[in-house]
Structure 1
Amino acid sequence: MTTSTASSHDSQGWRADIEAAARRLQQDGRGFVRETPLWRLPASALGLEAPGAEVWLKLEHLQSGGSFKARGMMNRLLANPIPAAGVVVASGGNAGIATAGAARALGVPCEVFLPGVSPEAKRQKLRDLGATVNVVGELYVDALEACLARQQATGALLTHAYDQPEVVAGAGTLGREIEAQAGGVPDAVLVSVGGGGLVGGLAGWFEDRTRVIALEPEGSPTLYRAREAGEPVDVAVGGLAADSLGARRIGDIAWQIAQQHVPEALLLTETAIRDAQQWLWTEMKLAVEAAAALPLAALHSGAVHLQPGQRVCLIVCGANVDPATVA
């Protein structure tokens, strides 16, 4: 089941949409979306041996609501009229938090449908933001079905976690921001994939000017399995990052963009992800969720080899985690 309105955007179309999203967020977003820091570190600072190489950490976990989702959700709300019923979203947590925060900033009601796998910390955050919270089923697809039924009944504006053009374009503003901050593009961008809104937005912005590498846990391989099958397919979902990378299939929009501009989709083990998550805390005092640790896990595990002189950007995408689980 999908709510995508994916079209035959060419890459120039996505770049234009991302530029429009950036203007919209700056002019009308009431300061909700922040410019997040870009750390440019020598490879040795992350325990890597590659002379002259730089690793850029895009600290998007410091974004409003604790994840990159703020960009796409606010862009979706700003780009559409919002009915009296407000907005409704199904989410593993981060998209719901971002939608609820954007709705509060704009003064409109928000209802969020969560799967049972979502952690209590995310549920409480939603309540604190004033959202109506419904926990339905165990997985994201269960929450989505209930959300779509509620939208049909109330006429609320549906905000999809990853598969709407405004959501993808909003996520793409992250790539635009990286390029502006660095004064150029890195040699590669490493990014976690669930439903694909972030990888789609980044690849839509960077096109073929850099190497966008998609990373997935072995327990939630939506893009990897789609590549094997030649089309999006349903996959079993589970494991360490299922609360934030728990989509059952890659989004239609991300699939279209990835076909053109994402040359690699790699799988990472639970052990590599957990080790990287704990390393980010113990060595850099960054308390981030498992999904945010995949880019570093790819380097530490050797799934991606950092070459001498390379500049590689790691998207640290979210921080909605109980700190006690990473300490």
Structure 2
Amino acid sequence: MKTKGLMMLMLIICLAMTACGKESSSNSAGEENSAGYEKATIRLAYNLPQDHHVAKGVEQFAKDVMEKSGGAIEIQVFPAGQLLSDKDMNQSILTGGVEMGVNSSTLWASTVPAMGIFDVPYVFTTYEEAGKALNGELGDKLRDAMEEKGAKVLMFADYGFAQFANNKRPLESPEDFNGLKIRSIGDIPSEMIKAYGASPVFMGGGEVYMALQRHTVDGATSGTTAMVQRKYDEVTKYLTINNYAYLQFLLAVNNDFWNRLPEKSQTLLMETAKDTEEWIRSQAEIEDSETAKQLADKGMEVYVVPEEDIPLWKEAARPAWNAFAENAGDLGEELLEMVD
């Protein structure tokens, strides 16, 4: 009886395992749902605060893809550095450690030097100008360069224009930078800061508040959205609006993963990303305007560089253009010819 009981138990276990296997198979990639999409799970990581307009756009992108695919394509979002730091993001995307990620063009420039074009001073002076370039030949060349390295760009997410905040004095001309220590955001902006007579200092975004408070640095460059979020108004007096760099974040996907997706899924992701890109671009202009006003309302003295003075600031920043051209090679020269 014991032997028969044991055999019966083993039979039940085998049947259960077979049923589980069938259930697992029915949920595997390759099966289409009623909307005609194959099931897929995509991990998407980013480091921005969740209340940033780029982050909001990315979160909505994930929701829209899931809704439009009838739940077949699930994008699992890992915000605010929960999964990867910005320094580890690019390598993880390129190696397939994560399927999708959002990171700054400045950090991508270490892999694709031409991505540094967004840091070149005064390349783009309006939101419309930047959008036209990204939707045209310049954007196509950058996308091609990224694909050659192993990542496909689904979206250029506009962060907004970069400005300067400092504690010493109003920066109303390049000469006013002389002798200051300024926290920089990359190699190309550092060349501009040096050309203006100041000393660039590198540090993470989370370290800037304390450095300004302790006068380790005299000022910093960033977008006004970040300045509000990081409470620059508490530790700096002066804000200079000169729109010297149009900061970009890229939503990129691992090439190998992308090529394994069905064409229908690829089309959905690209179309949804395009809609999101347009929304983020419209929000960038709104956020820049509103956050600059918030900083002024909080007591910062704001100086807006007159449009007629921009050519003087641009000419003084020429060493930064030269540094980009040298680093980015022939493609860099092509891009500069498009925008100069």
TM-score (norm: length of structure 1): 0.30
Whose strand proportion is higher, 1 or 2? 2
- Which structure would you say has the larger Rg? 2
TM-score (norm: length of structure 2): 0.29
Whose helix proportion is higher, 1 or 2? 2
